[in-house]
Structure 1
Amino acid sequence: MFIARKTSTNYCSHKCNNAAYKERIRQERIATYQKEISINTEETSIENKEFYTPPEVAKLLGISRASIYRYMAENIIKAVQFKGKTLVRRKDIELLFENAAEYKKRIPIEKAPITDFYTTAEVKEKYHVNESWIFVIAKKHNIPRTFNRGKTYWSKKHIDAYFAKKAPDPDITEWYSTQEMQEKFGMTLSAIYTFAYKNAIPKKKEGIMVYYSKKHVDIAKGIAKPEETMYYTVAEAMEKFNLTRDQLYHYVKWHHISKIKKGKYTFISRAELDKLLAPPKIE
């Protein structure tokens, strides 16, 4: 017994404190050793069993449980389903190796050779971009290129695929240039960029000129009313139901909600999403 000076004091002296610390470390080492022994004993007992559960088969073969369930579904591994339990015979696992097909060396998949190329001038002319911009984007997205007689040639397939992702919605036909938005709404360039980002305004780029969808800008500014469509854009659905993008896609996937894709934009069925997420009507 002793009188402690602080509420955090557990021992009467430094000597007792050290002794308690050493005992605590000793007990932790004993617990770790006993845990290792129990694991080894469990593995030994698994090897001597005649019937296994799927997790035990996975541990015995050293592969994932998902693979075991897939093999059972494909009838590669025979299993018996009881009420609340599935069992596999050890004999059936051994038969897998006895009746295994002859081993065949895996041949790596050969990549298709790149044969079609654009010159830098052709990319500039087709997509209205600057030469320096092409080199920056190609480096960032690992677009294959080759050199011949001092000229750079770009993989046609990869260039087209990149610009296809960046293509504007084909249904949008009217656009504001940044200059027109500055004049009409009295906005600075930085204000335009912030406004377009916050309201997810579709845009397209032609050379150094950037254009924004007239319809979306007018709706965001309150000049025009949104049309009642059969689909939500991702941004509209996120805002209406207060969801993150991941949460929205989770609902769409697991509840099989219809969606369509136009260019790089995804549209989700308005009726199906409303039925799932809209609050019930109180009578």
Structure 2
Amino acid sequence: MAKSSVRIKKVCEWCGKEFYALKTSTRFCSKQCNGYAYKRALRTKQVKSAEEVIATKIEVKRTQPFKDKEFLSPKECAEILNIALSSIYKMIYQGKIPAFQFSSRFTRIRKSDIDSMMGSTPYVKRNRISHTPITDFYTTAEVASKYGVNESWIFKVGKEQNIPKVFKRGKTYWSAKHFDKYFASKAPDSNITEWYSVEDLTEKFGMTTSAIYSFVSRFAIPKKKIKRQVFYSQKHVDIAKGLAKAEPEYYTTAEAMEKYNLTRDQLYHYVKWHHISKVQEGKYIKISRKELDDLLAPPSI
């Protein structure tokens, strides 16, 4: 059989030297480099196999103490299921895992309940979300008339919020659902019932229009807009002016536990899971009063 005269320039995968090969599958420049690479691959395979054996022994050692226990702590359940402790508490609050709370720091879960939960909740394939087509639209003039805003502002917000729009016969049509949702998110707090107009602030405090705008911006005074007229929260203006006393913005941990009859673990779980704002003063943690009330306060009839 005739020897091939084709020479292919390649780079050795072991030593990095350039060489000419007779086949495209050649990887090394010499038998010595090929032997070195083979030994390295063999060592890598042996190390990986040893690491897998050690990992299996560690897992068995980690879960072995729990196998003979009838009752487990939430932390032990989290270790067995290999999930976060907060996920265990979430399933307890949702009623998926029965738990027995003997005190604020002593909770136990029956191991058989964990086994039955795993057997009774098979995986369910999530259905793909079907997007509803947009059928209702506002013209730019209709948005300006309904919400009392400028047309140039509509185009600016539409671009920032990525609000769907279509062009037809020289007119721009905006998704009614998206603009209604945007303005609903900007609606004033329903708990605020008394408002100052710009004229009221000028008459009561002797402030110029520019001074009013600077004042409400500096103190972040809540506002609402009706057509072309702007109103500012009377309570927040009086607090900023020193005419009224501000309500405390934060609960201490003890105050929140007492008001809502929670344990410390339950309170911290709610704060972490619902991303409630908190501040730390020294060694004490204070929790946002408004956000906790919005989450846990019973609905008013």
The 5-angstrom pairing of residues 115-130 of structure 1 reads 115-130=135-150
Figure out how many residues of one structure are paired with residues of the other and give that number. 204
Q: Is 2:108 aligned against 1:86?
A: yes
TM-score by length of 2: 0.48
Q: Secondary structure of the residue that 2:214 maps to in structure 1?
A: helix
- Which residue of 2 is the match for residue 109 of structure 1? 129
Give the Cα–Cα distance (whole angstroms) in 2 for the partners of residues 50 and 154 of structure 1: 64
Q: Larger RCO: Structure 1 or Structure 2 (Cα < 8 Å, ≥ 6 residues apart)? A: 1
The 5-angstrom pairing of residues 258-269 of structure 1 reads none
The 5-angstrom pairing of residues 21-100 of structure 1 reads 43-48=59-64, 49-51=67-69, 52-71=72-91, 76-77=96-97, 84=106, 86-89=108-111, 93-94=114-115, 96-97=117-118, 99-100=119-120
What's the CA shift string for 1:232-255, capped at 9, x where partnerless?
xxxx66x25476996332674698
Amino acid at match of 2:88: I
Gaps of 5+ in 2: 1-53, 252-276, 278-286
The verdict on how the C-alpha distance between 1:217 and 1:177 changes in structure 2, with shifts beyond 3 A counting, is farther
Q: Secondary structure of the residue that 2:198 maps to in structure 1?
A: strand
- Which residue of 2 is the match for residue 176 of structure 1? 198
TM-score by length of 1: 0.51
- Which residue of 2 is the match for residue 247 of structure 1? 288
- Which residue of 2 is the match for residue 28 of structure 1? none
Give the Cα–Cα distance (whole angstroms) in 1 for the partners of residues 227 and 181 of structure 2: 17
The answer to which of 44-53 and 249-258 deviates more is 249-258
Q: Secondary structure of the residue that 1:129 maps to in structure 2?
A: coil
The answer to which of 75-84 and 101-110 deviates more is 75-84
Q: CA shift at 1:131, angstroms?
A: 1.6
The 5-angstrom pairing of residues 205-216 of structure 1 reads 206-207=227-228, 211-212=230-231
Q: Which of 132, 139, 152 lines up with 2:159 in the alignment?
A: 139
Give the Cα–Cα distance (whole angstroms) in 1 for the partners of residues 82 and 226 of structure 2: 53
The sequence identity of aligned pairs, in percent, is 34
Q: CA shift at 1:64, angstroms?
A: 2.7
Asked if the contact 1:177/1:212 (under 8 Å) is kept, the reply is no
Q: Secondary structure of the residue that 2:225 maps to in structure 1?
A: strand
Over the aligned positions, Cα root-mean-square deviation in angstroms equals 4.9
Q: CA shift at 1:118, angstroms?
A: 0.2
Gaps of 5+ in 1: 1-37, 227-235, 261-283
What's the CA shift string for 1:75-103, capped at 9, x where partnerless?
655667778452543x6645555x44654
